[in-house]
């Protein structure tokens, strides 16, 4: 297998992960496509230096989150209303209105978090353990735990307010 084929296989295996990261960190379809492309570009640049010391997914999350964050900072984006037009991925034949509403509600909650917390909740939702989240983000395990507890508390409060 050539280097190019191996890289393509990794991206194909994890394209869902990249999709989810780009949805969390962008506000429109065009921004999402740009970020998707940036992430693949950065992964390709980083591919030679990936020595397999960590899991492929850990390496991918790290590069993808860094790229998302760097893009956010470069564009100096300020909070603005979130269109969330880019969250609907279903072809017409399998379209599920009820699920789309739940999905939008979920993204609305995530978009209200700050840049760092968005990354943490994303990794948590991906099923990562605190140790791996710490490895990806560079935070200590206890810091990860504290921040996630705060996020949970925030979500709970929002829920209480709504009811």
Partner 1 sequence: MELEELQQVWAELSQEVEQQKKLNHKIIMEMTQQKYQQKFDKISRYETAGSVVCILAAVFVLFNFEKLDSLFYQLCGIVAIAFLVLLPIAVLRALKKIRSIDLINTTYKETMIAYNKAKDRLLLLQRIGLFSSFIFFFITLALSGKIFNDKDIFQETGIWFPVTVVLVGLGLFSWWGYRKYLSITGSAKNLIEELEP
Window 36 to 95, contacts with partner 1 (CB under 8 A): 36-38, 40-42, 44-46, 49, 62-63, 65-67, 69-70, 73-74, 76, 89-91
Give just the sign of the alpha carbon dihedral 65, 22, 111, 90. Answer: negative
Query: Which of 121/130 has CB closer to partner 1?
Result: 121
- CB of 96 closer than 8 Å to CB of 104: no
Contacts of 22 (CB under 8 A, 6+ apart): 32, 35, 36, 39, 68
Placement of tokens 């564009």 in the chain: 75
* CA distances from residue 6 to 2, 37, 56 in whole angstroms, order as listed: 6, 18, 12
Q: How many residues bind partner 1 (CB under 8 A)?
A: 61
What is the binding site for partner 1 (CB under 8 A)? Answer: 4-5, 7-8, 11-12, 15-16, 19-20, 34, 36-38, 40-42, 44-46, 49, 62-63, 65-67, 69-70, 73-74, 76, 89-91, 99, 102-103, 105-106, 109-110, 114-116, 119, 121, 124-126, 136-140, 143, 151-152, 155-156, 158-159
């Amino acid at each position: 297998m050539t280097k190019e084929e191996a890289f393509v296989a990794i991206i194909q295996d994890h394209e869902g992960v990249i999709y989810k990261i780009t949805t969390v960190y962008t506000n429109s379809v065009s921004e999402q496509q740009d970020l998707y492309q940036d992430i693949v570009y950065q992964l390709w640049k980083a591919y030679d230096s990936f020595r397999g010391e960590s899991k492929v997914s850990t390496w991918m999350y790290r590069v993808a989150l860094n790229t998302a964050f760097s893009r956010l900072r470069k564009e100096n984006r300020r909070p603005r209303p979130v269109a969330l037009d880019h969250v609907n991925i279903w072809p017409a034949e399998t379209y599920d209105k009820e699920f789309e509403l739940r999905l939008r509600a979920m993204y609305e909650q995530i978009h209200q978090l700050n840049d760092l917390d968005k990354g943490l909740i994303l990794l948590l939702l991906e099923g990562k353990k605190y140790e791996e989240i710490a490895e990806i983000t560079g935070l200590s395990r206890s810091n990860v735990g504290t921040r996630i507890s705060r996020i949970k508390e925030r979500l709970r409060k929002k829920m209480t307010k709504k009811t």
